[in-house]
A and B are shown apart, each in its own frame.
Chain A
Amino acid sequence: MRWLEYAVFLGLVVALARPVGLYLARVFEGQPTFPDRILRPAERLLYRLLGVSPEREMTPGIYLLSFLAFGALCTLLLFVLLLVQQWLPGGPDDRHLSTPMTPDLAANTAVSFSTTTTWQAYGGESTLRYLTQLVGLVAQNFLGGAAGLAVGMAFIRGFAREKATTLGNFWVDLVRGLLWVLLPLSLVGSLLLVWQGVPLNLSPYAEAQTLEGSPQTIAQGPVAALEFIKNFGTNGGGFFNANGAHPYANPTPLANFLGLLAIAIVPASLPITFGHMVRRPRAGWLLLAVMVVLFVAGLVVCDRAESAVPQRLADLGVDGGNMEGKEVRFGVGDSVLTAVVTSNGATGSYNSMYDSYQPLGALVPLLNMLLGEVVFGGLGSGLYSMVMVALVGVFMGGLMVGRTPEYLGKTIGAAEAKLVALFALLTPLVVLPLTGLAAATEAGRAGLVTNDGPRGFTEILFAYASCMANNGQTMAGLNANSVFYNLTTLLAMAAGRFALATLALMLAGRFAAQGRKEPTIGTLPCDTVTFGVLVLGTVVLVGALCFLPALALGPIAEHFQP
């Protein structure tokens, strides 16, 4: 049965890739689409208010600065909102908010949500006002997602254009992403979630008298406003501490399935948008095919690890797959599928606790994040991360045959190769030293309040991998609400968002300025199985070279631990 669910999910994602990918291309090329009649007036109104001339485009530099300044101002706004939230009106009652909003936690959370990481060093129901959840977090889920999508589109234009000095207009891409994609579908999706049982109220926490007569306080809130866009905007931070495992956040397998589709559909369609806009549809399909192969590989490994009776509990006479930290309505299948989709999709909306996964089960989401979330990935960021890997592959292929490497008619010269290499190396350069620092210092090891040994090391590595990949999921045994973790994870999140996007836009600017070389007999064709294998090999090779030693200390050591 779980394999049927896996197959239906993957089938839907691939089947929707073309229609959605072409729709996105039309939206961001400003061509007519079916919701125009309703949305065009709203769009024009917004441009008039903001003083944007939609036909005027930006150079790569101005596009980049607009994106960075927008991210910075969003961060600042959220930071202030978090600091003053204790004086905000509305629920929940102060006595439920036991986690103090310290400046370091506020800074961490502000960066976390403006970068779509949505790493949460706090538990929602014991920390945040409803108003903060809405005006702070829900808004950032939309804005961060739309800004990421905008950068992805600008990146595509870099390949699509020839001898061009501009990459589009950031404000136009932002507004169009919100109006044509995120807002309308979130309205429908959120409505479906309420139908499935996700609450949407501003009531005080409910006081119940259980059947056996004891009191139970049940957290409430405008949960449904957050729970769809957290997936659709590839953010992932949930309303409650247990995120997607919480039965209010994710009440049914259908709600869960909708969330998974929301995560994967747009990122999986962007390769098709890419192929369409660069007029090489096959190149786009090839990137999607590589993603699917990597997706299935991770899914099989994770499923094998989790569906067997846990090895260390087998002699206790228990029957069934690993259910510690998993919910019965999801079972192993929905939990594993969600782990693989969320860890690939830059969306930390886990519905089961990774800290209780088997070593090889936890290895899969960890590796997905370390490899840069090239499988579907975040809105926009997934595509440019995958293309970057393809460029590394092209470059290595070019070295092997001794020709100047080209991709889609764009030459990868010395400057481009440096940008690509820096992009590929930035994740290990950020994640590994920070992991080492945490493992080597008292302040870092103080976070290991639940597990130690290899699992403790994995928790730390997982935290920085998650933040760098702007994913946000956690092995929650790590107590990350300390000045040390709040500041170091903040660094990783900012690097993962702003540094990688900067490199991507710089590269896109250089490619846009180039002409397009016609393919010759010596050109490595970028839409063949050979090329696909080359890209796959590059993902595996670069990943293994960078991370094998760290993984050996964590999940691999734990696998062989008695």
Chain B
Amino acid sequence: MIPPQESPPKEVSAPPLPATRTDLRAQLRPLLLGVPLLTLLTGAVFPLVLAAFARPLFPDRADGSLIVRDGVVVGSELIAQNFSRPGYFHPRPSSAGDGYDAAASNGSNLGPANPKLREAVRDLAEAYRHTNGLPPDAAVPIDAVTRSGSGLDPHISPANAALQTARVARERRLAEEDVRRLVAEHTLGPQLGFLGAPHVNVLALNLALDRAAPLSAAR
């Protein structure tokens, strides 16, 4: 932060001790003025100064990374939305509100010994195998059958995407190789090579699929 200086110049060192003292009455004004004044400094001036820099520099991010297609807001790059059609990659299950409610973020909060957790994971795993045409004993990537902390996790793991690739390719009449390439293009992380885990953005990937082979035209 600064070059450490062990021995500062003498004339500016700490105030001499014992210092002059202040009394209790003298604290009333700093208290009564300080609370509102510092509240405004930190709660109003600070956000305004921040906005003056951040909003012009990163306008899209500041406005929530919303994605507009044909003049319609179709969602946010950072917020999961539900996909259930077989031609789309599916996000993780959600417990935000009634599912993917981006005004009510939440996890399931089910404890590891809660029977409801086991039942949910069992049902979700069965449904996942069925949807993707996997044998009943196939291992399922755990992110596909567990609910994220926010319920709005916009990502799935590369392993989860790989198991959905064949289904999406078939529905879109695309070569599996092409879909795999799209998945790879939308796979991020670990950031800077060591932060976090690899992840695939579901909405961005599905938008790219719609551009490559529109669902309605394929059918």
Q: List residues of chain A with CB under 8 Å of any chain B CB.
A: 1, 4-5, 8, 16, 18-20, 22-23, 26, 29-34, 46, 49-53, 55-59, 62, 65-66, 69-70, 73-74, 77, 96, 123, 125-126, 134-136, 138-143, 161, 164-166, 169-171, 174, 178, 183, 186-187, 190-191, 194-201, 203, 205-212, 214, 216-220, 222, 224-225, 240-242, 245-248, 251-254, 256-257, 309-313, 316-334, 350-353, 355-359, 450-451, 453-455, 475-477, 558, 561
Contact = CB atoms under 8 A, between A and B. Distances in A.
A31 B42 contact: no
A212 B110 contact: no
Given A70-B35, A164-B18, A254 B194 contact: no
A199 B42 contact: no
A455 B194 contact: no
A257 B195 contact: yes
A201 B63 contact: yes
B82 A329 contact: no
B150 A317 contact: no
B4 A49 contact: no
8 contacts: A20-B1, A26-B2, A58-B22, A70-B35, A209-B72, A218-B103, A247-B152, A309-B142
Q: Please report whether the interface of chain B is mostly helix, strand, loop or mixed according to DSSP.
A: loop
A201 B58 CA distance: 11
Contacts of A178: 38, 41-42
A323 B49 contact: no
B182 to A, nearest CB: 15
Interface in B170-219: 188-192, 194-197, 199, 203, 206-207, 210
B127 interface: no
Contact of A220 (B17, B24, B64, B84): B64
| Residue with the highest number of chain B CB atoms closer than 10 Å, among A125, A201, A247, A359 | A247
B102 A329 contact: no
Nearest to A138: B43
| Residue with the highest number of chain A CB atoms closer than 10 Å, among B6, B22, B42, B146 | B42
Contact of B15 (A30, A210, A355): A30
Contacts, number: 446
Contact of A211 (B75, B80, B103): B75
B148 interface: yes
A493 B198 CA distance: 38
B13 to A, nearest CB: 7
A65 B92 contact: no
Interface of B: 1-6, 8, 12-15, 17-24, 26-27, 29-44, 46-47, 49-51, 53-55, 57-58, 61-66, 72-85, 88, 92, 96, 100-114, 117-118, 121-122, 125, 137-143, 145-157, 159, 188-192, 194-197, 199, 203, 206-207, 210
B121 to A, nearest CB: 5
Nearest to B188: A329
A241 B105 contact: yes
A320 B148 contact: no
B149 A352 contact: yes
A154 B139 CA distance: 58
A142 B19 contact: no
A57 B22 contact: yes
Contacts of B142: 309-310, 313, 318-323
A252 B58 CA distance: 16
A127 to B, nearest CB: 11
Contacts of A62: 22-24, 27
Nearest to A334: B196
A59 B21 contact: yes
A218 B147 contact: no
A248 to B, nearest CB: 6
B15 A455 contact: no
A187 to B, nearest CB: 6
| Residue with the highest number of chain B CB atoms closer than 10 Å, among A322, A351, A455 | A455
Q: Which 4 A-B pairs have the closest CB atoms?
A: A253-B196, A331-B197, A139-B43, A245-B149
Given A211-B207, A323-B143, A353-B107, 12 more contacts: A1-B194, A50-B29, A57-B15, A123-B104, A143-B35, A210-B74, A246-B150, A324-B108, A325-B148, A353-B108, A356-B108, A451-B111
Given A19-B2, A312-B113, A183 B46 contact: yes
| Residue with the highest number of chain B CB atoms closer than 10 Å, among A32, A65, A140, A353 | A353
B137 A225 contact: no
A356 B110 contact: yes
Contacts of B137: 317
A242 B151 contact: yes
Contacts of B43: 134-136, 138-140, 142
A211 B38 contact: no
Contact of B109 (A18, A222, A477): A477
B150 A245 contact: yes
B15 A55 contact: yes
A196 B26 CA distance: 46
Contacts of A123: 104-106
B55 to A, nearest CB: 6
Contacts of A138: 42-43, 46-47
Nearest to A210: B81
A61 to B, nearest CB: 8
B110 A241 contact: no
Contacts of A20: 1
Contact of A191 (B17, B50, B102): B50
B191 A247 contact: no
Given A5-B195, A18-B4, A455-B113, A224 B50 contact: yes
B22 A53 contact: yes
Contact of B14 (A30, A65, A450): A30
Nearest to A219: B103
B12 A65 contact: no
Contact of A320 (B24, B58, B141): B141
Contact of B139 (A26, A253, A317, A455): A317
A287 B41 CA distance: 35
Contacts of A325: 107-109, 146-149
Contact of B62 (A50, A59, A201, A208): A201
A206 B60 CA distance: 14
Contact of A194 (B57, B74, B114): B57
A141 B46 CA distance: 12
A18 to B, nearest CB: 7
A329 B196 contact: yes
A556 B199 CA distance: 34
Contacts of A212: 81-85, 88
A195 B51 CA distance: 12
